[in-house]
Structure 1
Amino acid sequence: MPEPKMVVTAVLEDPQASVGHRYGVNALATRHSGEGHTNLFSAGRDGTVRCWDVSAEGVASVGCMDDHADWVNDVVCVHDEILASCSSDCTIKLWSTRADSRPVECETLRQHTDYVKALAYCREPQLLASAGCDCDVLLWDVAARTLASSSGEGHSDSIYCLAASTSGSLVVSGSVDTDVRVWDPRSPESGLRLAGHADVVRAVLLLPDGKRVVSCGSDRTLRLWHVGEQRCEAVWTDHSDSVYSLQTDPTGTHILSGDRSGSVRLTSIHDGSSHELLHAGAAVQKLLWEDSEEGGASQLWVATTQSDLTCWRLPSNLSAARQSPLAEHVHTIPGAAGIRRFEVLPTRLAVLTEDTSGEALLWDVCTGRVRHRYAKAAGDAKGPYNKLVRELRKERVAVPHWFSVSTRSGGLEVSLDADLCFNAEVYLSDLGLEDRDLRVNLGERLLATLFNSWREAQNPPPAKDTLPLLSYRPLSEVPIRVSQQGVVILKCTAEELSQVSAKCIPPWVSQCVLKGIFSPRESSKLSFFLSPHASDDLPTLPYGLNKLSASKFLKVHKVAAYVVSKLPHDEEETPPELQLMCNDQQLPGEMSLATVFSFLWKTPGEDMQLQYRRVPHETEA
């Protein structure tokens, strides 16, 4: 079997964007770092795990871990120096961090065959439980980085949530099959099935006593289960929408639950009394209780389908008795606007994007910069994007696809692979560079620019590149990823590529960058006939010169110059100034043959026919 292709991705980030998540936040974890500081970890739908330092003075960004290739669905602190995350890219990652929570190393665990949705950590045996859409719960030996065991047969559908006891004697899971299952990892065959939910189980929680479990789900209920007695002790139906998240206070006497409408409720386990504690403004994905190190008021972190994170100070006399909802939050970590849709323009040189704030940006693929910003006008419900797309689509130009675009991370990701990368050519004048008549391959020039620092670091040095590099943004601002089958195998800035071993560079990239060797997958040739236009008495070109096969990127004025050079004329005569026609439509000199073929010839399967004639004088036109 051929080796899976390796893809190079350049991530173009808006320099004006904030450092927050681009999309909703799925999970949270904290650990105290001492001296009144807490490390908060947030896992987002932008594929990142972000690290924050939280103190009485405020919140500061510490770092961003972005090795995942899809949504990060859960995150847990394994111990003081290891953070675990799981993703819809089917992987689990263990992040080694320094005391300040900055990531220094990442290891990947691969065993799941579908999205990994949930994690739970058993502290005493140092086992990490993981589960997801492949319906299996896996237990990992964190110290050895190996798979220890699995739950075997259990759930019949995707598993969305996990909880585990500190001792590792109990693992609890909730599933799309509506069941809650409890099992002892030491004897998986002894698992218990707790049935009662009428829809997907979204979250499970082990109470501090280790004997009872709370679950919630899309049936809008919370259920309290006694594990030893294998029965449901209580059902609470106060929510009016699907319940997604659970948290308990340290004593285990109150349950906090968040639902799809944004409501966060506080429920007493003893008598079932409940009231709305706060309203988050969007579907609640995660609740995280944080105790104060200094005996002050406890706080509640709330993550939702919006990109902002909020922290609320809880009353010291926490009670489920009805009272006014909390009105103000202590901290807010603002999210950034993420790209929600995009349009690759016909020139294949620019991409129009619209972000979640309604602002539209026009990006230049060959410089990595924003050409123009189109702000959403006050009172404009739709924003400028749709109108801009309609206008920009009118441009008649035919350029093959040579890159692909993703906005998974909330930024603009431009990916190059060997199948598409070398399919398009352009004149340097079209890029605002020198030598109007010099035609270059777009993919080759972009790779040469992005990998220039790596090229210059090779020993022995390669032959000098005689073509100009693209006028790209500073390479220190351009994150580069090399991935294979969705798994990231190299991640650094374009500037840092100078420190990367040649073994980590895709062979097709090194061949192109070092030796100038590359092969377009799509034919760049186009055949066409040339003949005099019926309105002119110019002679026919000699046989053999009237049918050509030329680059589809060749411009019309070049073909006209060719005709002039081949028409017979006296040396003393001034050569005629010619224009080309196709289907009786005059062709602009800067139009490419590919564009003529796509928009004016319109007869696929037949060689294109072009006619030439003298440029009419104004009195003749």
Structure 2
Amino acid sequence: MLKSHRQGREIKAPDLKSQAPVKGSVRLDHIVALEVWGMAEAAVGQGEGLAASNLDKFLPCIVLEVLVTRLARLDRERRSASHMCSMMLMIKRYHCAGINCMAYLNGSTFSTSDYLFSGSRDGTLKRWELNNGDASFSATFESHVDWVNDAIIVGEKLVSCSSDTTIKVWNCFSDGACTRTFRQHSDYVICLAAAEKNSNIVASGGLGGEVFVWDLDAALAPVAKSVDAKEDEVPNGNSGPPLTTLCSVNSSSNIASSNSQSHGYSPIAAKGHKDSVYALAMNDTGTLLLSGGTEKVVRVWDPRTGSKNMKLRGHTDNIRALLVDSTGRYCLSGSSDSMIRLWDLGQQRCVHSYAVHTDSVWALATTHSFGHVYSGGRDQSVYLTDLSTRESVLLCTNECPILQLSLQDDTIWVATTDSSVYGWPAEGLTPQKVFQKGGSFLAGNLSFSRARASLEGSAPVPVYKEPSFVVPGVPAIVQHEIMNNRRHVLTKDTTGSVKLWEITRGAVIEDFGKVSFEDKKKELFEMVSIPAWFTMDARLGCLSVHLDTPQCFSAEIYAVDLNVSGAQEDLKINLAHDTLCGLLVHWSKRKQKSSSHGLPNGDSSIGKDVPSKDSHRSRTEVDDTTENHTTHVLPSFEFSTVSPPSIITEGSSGGPWRKRITDLDGTEGDLPWWCVDCVTHNRYPKENTKCGFYLHPAEGSPAPNITQGKLSAPRILRIHKVLSPDMSLATVRTYIWKKPEDLILHYRVVQSR
């Protein structure tokens, strides 16, 4: 039964199945019946369509013809000036993607404990405290918005580089706040190198053949900053000195100049690479810099001037790892040609080649004396090789390709494409003990000899079967599917575990275990049509949800579908609006508190200029008569404070930045304008969420024609009686009509029985 909201009259639903189909239309057995008054009331509210008095003529009728109109979207000029806002869902304490780099801090230097720093493809660095054979989580360093590719320790500073084209400086013992960001690189920054005895010299290299040498003392020194110079760390709320302004480097000069911004610092540029740089190494005193990459040669530079000293040829594929001894006399290189080469820089030639791997060599680590080398790579194996005798032994094997090695006394830390870090016995102080365990072989001179030996079944047996340390991570998400309700996402991780996420809360709502992803997707299929209001990827090993205006505000849902207690039946919720309110609730409260303390009498101007017209409970509500700013968020949009998601703003004036939602302190002035409008003023672009339709009687029906028959109604308006009650206009068009033409529906008078 349908009921008139104004007159209280009940309306009988017609028996459409008894009606013969009209020629040229679809069979009415599967055509919708739309509630007349609800749609007409919506249309009258828009100032078009029927007068209320005309409805008496067909109250016992059902609307059966709808023309879906394509109204123009909001003006796109504002979009060009907008920023994208992204939400990242990950577990705070653990990495969720491969580990690209590690850095070890000896406790005897600055603290009583040893610390291991790990940088991941999830965009974060983490500090682990090592005590009595155990590694415990200590801090997360979060500011990069893409893969962390390398990290080194310089004194008490941690320096990292990323595919977001930045180099960041952190205090090793801080709670994870970034102190400086440098944006000299124009492409991914892949590698770093430092001078051990000259703790202020750092080199960086990346794609595009860019190599820069930094004097950290000069780069981090407070300088006068021009008005137009932007500081990346403003959103992070740091109170330190301003970000050093960096100038562009003249491509025609080997040495960087600062003529355009003389008040700022500019690093030395080592010019000469034509292609990408994947590896760097520097001697202890900072007088020698080596670089290698896709050009298959090792270049040697003077980092003090940026001038080229020599070029070493011999590898037949990309150079992926470099090491130089403390004196600057010898260097080691690892390549994708599976070879390790020892070079005499004085003679400018290769003196030894070691064929121990069956695939690309990606990581090298040497003993303090430079007499033995540990190597790892794509073949998932770690070998120990005596550089003098050429004797090699398989130390251990892993389940994933090896990305980096770090030798500390008798433990070698192994980073792989897995999200965990492994510490293996290495006997780094007395490596001869490893060879005494047996299983060694003589390294060949040619790569094919090692590969052939492996194929012939003479592969060596690893000395160690189990690691002595494991710094755990969580499995990376490798597959995902957005469900039709646009609130749930089905994921599969590297272990094969399938889970269902609720995006509006950033939480896993069901773990199905190791089941078929495709079968579970079919099982969870819902016949519902809701506009796509976000995009998503799992590039960082976790779910990254991207919102962009105005399209993110195109999806609405009835409050009753979210089980909102006491909600009116026709109350609609904008999914993007309430998700943003949930994400920025901490920012909103702290900003209101800060503003209240900063204005006379505790008054705040936030929200006053544009009062909200919506009484929706989840909206950010500002009480202008008190100092307190109260933000109400529905349970379906409450995010965890234990493992809070992070947000990233893309294209902001000082460059993208990233922060956990619980760390937002209200001082972030670089949030996208449309996010601020949405959360503080309940003001956001109104997407076209309606369908236009016409009322026409079915052929042969005595129902009268309607003169002003054009109406419009929300796409999410529910269907009653004929099809499933929870089916909307958009759902019918997508799954029942299934044609590009406008949807045609007919109505007729209910026959008395």
Which of the five TM-score ranges fits, normalised by the shorter chain? Answer: 0.7 to 0.9
Question: Is 1:22 matched with 2:96?
Answer: yes
Give secondary structure in 2 for the equivalent of 1:599.
Answer: helix
**8 Å CA contact retained: 2:145, 2:657:** no
Supply the distance in 2 between the matched residues of 1:454 and 1:168 (Cα, whole angstroms). Answer: 44
Map 1:242-321; keep pairs closer than 5 Å.
242-291=360-409, 298-315=410-427, 317-319=430-432, 321=435
Q: AA paired with 1:488?
A: P
- Residues 141 and 178 in structure 2, CA contact (< 8 A), matched pair in contact too: no
Residues 554-579 of structure 1: per-residue CA shift (max 9 Å, x gap) = 2234xxxxxxxxxxxxxxxxxxxxx5
Q: Match of 1:425? A: 556
1:49-448 to 2 correspondence within 5 Å? 49-80=125-156, 82-98=157-173, 102-123=175-196, 124=198, 126-145=200-219, 146-153=265-272, 155-291=273-409, 298-315=410-427, 317-319=430-432, 321=435, 323-324=438-439, 325-376=463-514, 383-393=515-525, 395-433=526-564, 434-448=567-581
SS of the residue aligned with 1:542? coil
- In 1: Cα distance, 2:750 partner to 2:671 partner: 52
The 10-residue stretch of structure 1 (83-92 or 36-45) with the greater mean CA deviation from structure 2: 36-45
Q: Give the aligned partner of residue 519 of structure 1.
A: 685
Deviation at 1:26, TM superposition (A): 1.1
- CA shift in 2, pair 1:209/1:122, >3 Å: closer
Q: Distance in 1 between matches of 2:648 and 2:380?
A: 38
Call closer, same or farther: CA 1:369–1:265 in 2, change over 3 Å: closer
Cα distance, 1:116 vs structure 2:
0.9
Contact 2:381 2:398 (C-alpha < 8 Å) held by counterparts: yes
Q: In structure 2, do the counterparts of structure 1 residues 263 and 503 end up closer, same or farther at CA, with 3 Å as the change threshold?
A: closer
Contact kept, 8 Å, 2:317 with 2:335, in 1: the verdict is yes
May I ask how many residue pairs the two structures share in their alignment? 565
Instruction: Answer yes or no: is the 8 Å Cα contact 1:139–1:147 preserved in 2.
Output: no
Question: Contact 1:422/1:519 (CA < 8 Å) preserved in 2?
Answer: yes
Is contact 1:141-1:147 (8 Å) kept? no
Structure 2: distance between partners of 1:496 and 1:20? 18
Q: Does 1:551 align with 2:682?
A: no
Instruction: Kindly indicate whether the alpha-carbon contact (under 8 Å) linking 1:529 and 1:608 is maintained by their aligned counterparts in 2.
Output: no
CA contact (8 A) 1:261 1:281 kept: no
1: CA distance, partners of 2:736 / 2:743: 10
Q: Quick one: which of 675, 690, 696 aligns to 1:531?
A: 696
Cα shift readout 1:62-102 (whole Å, capped 9, x = no counterpart): 1112211111111100112x10111111111111232xx53
Quickly say closer, same or farther: Cα 1:37–1:614, change in 2 above 3 A. Answer: farther
Distance (whole Å) between structure 1 residues aligned to residue 496 and residue 278 of structure 2: 32
Q: Following TM superposition, by how much is the alpha carbon of 1:601 offset from its aligned partner in structure 2, in angstroms?
A: 3.1
C-alpha distance 481-616 of structure 1, shift in aligned 2 (>3 A): farther
Q: Distance in 2 between matches of 1:538 and 1:430?
A: 38
* One-letter identity of the residue aligned with 1:426: I
Q: Which of the pair has the greater relative contact order for Cα pairs under 8 Å at 6+ separation? A: 2
- Helix, strand or coil at the partner of 1:358: coil
Relative distance call for 1:143 and 1:420 in structure 2 (3 A) is: farther
Distance 2:582 2:426 in 1: 53
Matched position secondary structure for 1:556: coil
- CA offset at residue 375 of structure 1? 0.8
Q: Secondary structure at the match of 1:5?
A: coil
Q: 1:270 to 1:12 in 2, by over 3 A?
A: closer
The 8 Å contact of residues 490 and 504 in structure 1, kept in 2 or not, is answered as no
Measure the CA separation in 1 of the matches of 2:393 and 2:335.
Answer: 18
> Secondary structure of the equivalent of 1:609?
coil
Partners of 1:208 and 1:615 in 2: how far apart? Answer: 94
- 1:162 touches 1:172 (CA, 8 Å); kept in 2? yes
Change (3 A) 1:556 1:490: same
More strand by share: 1
Measure, in 2, the Cα distance between the counterparts of 1:396 and 1:616. Answer: 31
- CA RMSD across the alignment: 2.5
Q: Percent identity?
A: 33
CA contact under 8 A between 1:359 and 1:384: conserved in structure 2? no
**TM-score, structure 1 as length reference:** 0.85
Give a deviation string over 1:405-442, Cα, whole Å, max 9, x none: 23233332323221322111111112221222112322
8 Å Cα contact 1:244-1:259 kept in structure 2:
yes
Q: Hey, what does 1:506 align to over in structure 2? A: 672
- Residue deviations 1:240-297 (CA, integer Å, cap 9, x gap): 2211111110111111111211221111121222221222332111111113xxxxxx
Does the CA-based 8 Å contact 1:527-1:608 persist in structure 2? no
Q: Match for 1:500: what amino acid?
A: G
> Any stretches of 5+ residues in structure 2 without a counterpart?
1-76, 220-264, 440-462, 593-603, 619-633
Q: Identify the match of residue 484 of structure 1 among 646, 650, 665.
A: 650
Q: How far off its partner does 1:453 sit?
A: 4.0
Cα distance in 1 between the residues matched to 2:572 and 2:517 = 32
- The separation in 1 between residues aligned to 2:474 and 2:92, in whole angstroms, is 5
The code of the aligned residue for 2:200 comes to: Q
Q: TM-score, normalised by structure 2?
A: 0.71
Say whether the 8 Å CA contact 2:703–2:749 is kept in structure 1.
Answer: no
Which structure features the higher share of helix residues?
2
Q: Is the 8 A contact 1:4 1:484 kept in 2?
A: no
Is the alpha carbon distance of 1:367 and 1:436 closer, same or farther for their aligned partners in structure 2, counting shifts above 3 Å? farther
Give, in whole Å, the separation in 2 of the partners of 1:538 and 1:107.
77
- Which of 426-435 and 547-556 deviates more? 547-556
Secondary structure of the corresponding residue to residue 144 of structure 2 = coil
Match of 1:612 in 2: 747
Moved more, 525-534 or 122-131: 525-534
Q: Does the Cα contact within 8 Å between 1:18 and 1:335 map onto a contact in 2? A: no
Q: Could you tell me which amino acid in structure 2 is paired with residue 311 of structure 1?
A: G
Q: Is the 8 A contact 2:145 2:648 kept in 1?
A: no
